[in-house]
Amino acid sequence: MEQVKNLDFKLDNGYLIPAVGFGTWQVKDGNEAYQSVLWALEAGYRHIDTAYVYGNEESVGKAIKDSKIDRSKLYITTKLPSDIKTYDGTIKYFKESLNNLGLDYIDLYLIHAPWPWSNVGENCDKGNIEAWKAMIELQKEGLIKTIGVSNFSIANIENIWEATGVKPLVNQIRYFVGNTQPELTKYCQDNGILVEAYSPFATGELLNNSKLAEIAQKYNTTIPKICLRFCLQNNTLPLPKSVHKERIYDNLEFNFVISEEDMSYLNSLDKLASTRPLRY
């Protein structure tokens, strides 16, 4: 069986994206972010996910540089702050991210959310269209390979798609066993939009779940690996995060297949973790 770290998804524009990404949300700037990303790259991750608001782009960029891995072998994602909803603001913050990371281009650039995190649910349809138009131009200039969104609903996606004729090719959403946002996920997958699964462990809440423990025991593996394999077999791209070397390595080793029967069971589970506000 092919190792997970060698698997890719093919996006609608033909680009390949490594099927597992290394997340850096809540990873502190400085040595923690630098060392975590360096370990991830040493372990075999080639897809690194960060964001302007994480405040760690410089450390992520330094680790990328110091890894000495050919840039063409890497897939780097960052995100436009959720409160930036203007054309000029999008250009400005993108160039800051590019400079922070020390790169010549970004593989995937996402609108971090359809509304500011300070006012979740606010209607920003016009602002999202402006931001999207700027990202389309940056892509035309070759500064971005692929553009997408995060935390977008169906209506949010259709708003920018209908206004510009350009659909996002990725939607990064909260996705884990017991919370798979089935309607949104189906819409994205039916329309050639890759779903990326952030918080695949429900921010740690699934790690002691008895139902998942039974499944993990059946496959002689761990709950985190069941969570990651579940995402992958549902054709979503998991973004595990850790700052511990052993876990970083371990989270890239889930080279087994969950049976159809057990996938059906896992897909039937609901609300295994507490309902928290959306997080970025």
In angstroms, the CA 185 to CA 189 distance is: 6
Helix, strand, coil proportions of the chain in percent (round to 5)?
45, 15, 40
Angle between helices 223-233 and 260-268 (to 10 degrees): 100
Q: Cβ of 136: how many Cβ atoms within 10 Å? A: 16
**Residue from 158, 154, 150, 86 nearest 113 by CA:** 150
Residue 107, SS3? strand
φ/ψ of 2, rounded to 5, equals -65, 140
Dihedral of the CA atoms 48, 78, 54, 88 (nearest 10)? Answer: 170
Exactly one of 34, 45, 52, 54 is catalytic; name it.
Answer: 54
**What residues contact residue 122 under an 8 Å CB cut-off, 6+ apart?**
115, 116
Q: Is 52 a catalytic residue?
A: no
**What residues act catalytically?**
54
